[in-house]
């Protein structure tokens, strides 16, 4: 069978053109971040590929291939699938409430036999897609402030409340913050933003005292005073600060971090891998990695800005906001500037679920780049 019998020449040409339109600089930056993560995982495993480094690279390779495939999918297909993906994610979250697996006191997973699924990860993409589609059909004046904004508020509130009930406070905060970021990017009035910020700030004390679970409340109190229980609830953040401070300007050297190598630093391969990096490569190493994250965020936002469709702009910007929030929350958590909420450093930390979510999101960003001239006529899904 000839190649042309499988793929017509015109289709092959279109595929080649699409691959050429992918932002390969952006792709390279993502590869550098993931490679840095693999190097750190290799180090903290005692200079061994097992149990984390090899799996990290294999997972990233598969996710990278998926991102490239998704980049070739027309952005109008993403538009059509926006509400179905959101609805599917919401149904899965409801299913978690009914028959989800309980682990470490939380009910966050669905056991499908072959794979153990965390639906809140699907919702991170579904929420961005749904909000981008809704705002695509909304006028700038209505997006600023109108009764129609009840719809995005509900779209954000439903998954956020379901995830918070699991309980998974970190992901719930991430969903709410991502949704809020999309609303602001869509043109929400500054007065409304300020009023909401003041309301949220005023609601935090009673929320902490009367709504949070005891262990979640303890995380807040530990964040405020970790020295009160240095060998108990404050252990994580104190060890992280020791690792950060002991690295100095240039670090102790690759494979020579005492806090991570001697297992004083908990969750050194996931939530606190940035502290491991700081201990071995110091301030210079941390700044270098943060510059890579800044480059990825800047390039993704630039891609969002050149899209000809409002859906493409908001979709790419929303995904980028989620990625940026991951980095900000984890960085603040590791440095003791935020409570420990179990948010990993994307692509650097070990973990397949978050990596898959991030790379699917960046598949959308690349799709917006490849199909930046595609037009979508209305919020009803009619395509040009």
Q: Which residue has the tokens 């598949």?
A: 363
State which residues form the domain around 199.
Answer: 7-370
Q: Is the pLDDT of residue 3 over 60?
A: no
Task: Give backbone dihedrals phi and psi of 220, rounded to 5 degrees, phi first.
Answer: -65, -45
Q: Is the pLDDT of residue 235 over 90?
A: no
CB 296 within 8 A of CB 361: no
User: What integer pLDDT is reported at residue 290 of this predicted model?
Assistant: 97
Adjacent-strand bridge partners of 103: 106
Query: Domain for residue 211, yes or no?
Result: yes
- Alpha-carbon distance of 217 to 335, in angstroms, equals 19
At 56-96, the pLDDT tens digits run 999 999 999 999 999 999 999 999 999 999 999 999 999 88
Query: Domain for residue 381, yes or no?
Result: no
Residue 114 is given by DSSP the state S
Query: Domain for residue 94, yes or no?
Result: yes
Give the β-pairing of 106-111 and 101-103: antiparallel
Query: Domain for residue 1, yes or no?
Result: no
Query: Domain for residue 99, yes or no?
Result: yes
Q: Which residue has the higher pLDDT, 11 or 360?
A: 360
Mean pLDDT of the chain: 87
Q: Which of 152, 162, 161 is nearest to 132 (CA)?
A: 152
At 152-204, the pLDDT tens digits run 999 999 999 999 888 888 889 999 999 999 999 999 999 989 998 898 888 88
Query: Domain for residue 269, yes or no?
Result: yes
pTM for the model: 0.89
Task: Give backbone dihedrals phi and psi of 103, rounded to 5 degrees, phi first.
Answer: -145, 130
Query: Domain for residue 217, yes or no?
Result: yes
At 91-140, the pLDDT tens digits run 999 988 887 666 655 667 777 666 677 888 889 999 999 999 999 989 88
- Residue 187 buriedness (CB in 10 A; 0-12 / 13-18 / 19+): middle
Domain count, the chain: 1
Q: Is the pLDDT of residue 40 over 90?
A: yes
Average pLDDT over residues 220-232: 75
Query: Domain for residue 280, yes or no?
Result: yes
Q: Which of 267, 247, 245, 268 is nearest to 256 (CA)?
A: 247
């Amino acid at each position: 069978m000839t190649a042309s019998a499988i793929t017509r020449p015109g289709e092959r040409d279109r595929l080649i053109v699409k691959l050429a339109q992918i932002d390969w600089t952006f792709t390279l930056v993502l590869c550098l971040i993931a490679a840095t993560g693999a190097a750190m995982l290799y180090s903290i495993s005692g200079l061994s590929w097992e149990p984390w480094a090899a799996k990290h690279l294999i997972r990233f390779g598969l996710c990278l291939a998926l991102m490239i495939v998704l980049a070739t999918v027309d952005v109008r297909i993403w538009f059509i699938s926006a509400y179905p993906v959101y609805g599917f994610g919401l149904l899965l979250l409801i299913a978690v409430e009914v028959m989800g697996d309980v682990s470490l006191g939380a009910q966050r997973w669905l056991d499908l036999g072959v794979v153990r699924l965390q639906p809140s990860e699907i919702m991170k993409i579904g929420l961005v897609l749904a909000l981008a589609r809704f705002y695509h059909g909304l006028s700038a004046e209505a997006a600023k402030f109108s009764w129609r904004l009840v719809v995005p508020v509900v779209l954000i509130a439903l998954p956020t409340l379901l995830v918070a009930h699991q309980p998974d406070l970190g992901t719930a905060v991430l969903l709410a913050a991502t949704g809020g970021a999309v609303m602001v990017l869509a043109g929400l009035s500054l007065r409304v933003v300020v009023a909401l910020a003041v309301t949220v700030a005023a609601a935090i004390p009673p929320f902490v005292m009367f709504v949070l679970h005891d262990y979640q409340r303890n995380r807040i109190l530990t964040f405020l005073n970790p020295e009160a229980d240095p060998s108990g609830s404050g252990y994580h953040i104190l060890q992280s600060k020791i690792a950060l401070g002991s690295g100095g300007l240039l670090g102790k050297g690759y494979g020579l971090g005492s806090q991570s190598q001697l297992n004083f630093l908990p969750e050194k391969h996931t939530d606190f891998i940035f502290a491991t990096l700081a201990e071995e490569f110091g301030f210079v190493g941390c700044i270098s990695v943060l510059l890579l994250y800044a480059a990825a965020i800047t390039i993704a936002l630039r891609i969002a800005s050149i899209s000809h469709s409002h859906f493409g702009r908001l979709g790419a910007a929303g995904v980028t906001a989620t990625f940026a929030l991951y980095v900000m929350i984890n960085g603040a958590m590791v440095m003791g500037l935020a409570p420990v909420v179990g948010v990993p450093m994307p692509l650097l930390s070990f973990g397949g679920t978050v990596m898959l979510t991030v790379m699917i999101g960046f598949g959308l960003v690349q799709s917006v780049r490849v199909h930046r001239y595609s037009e979508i006529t209305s919020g009803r899904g009619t395509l040009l």
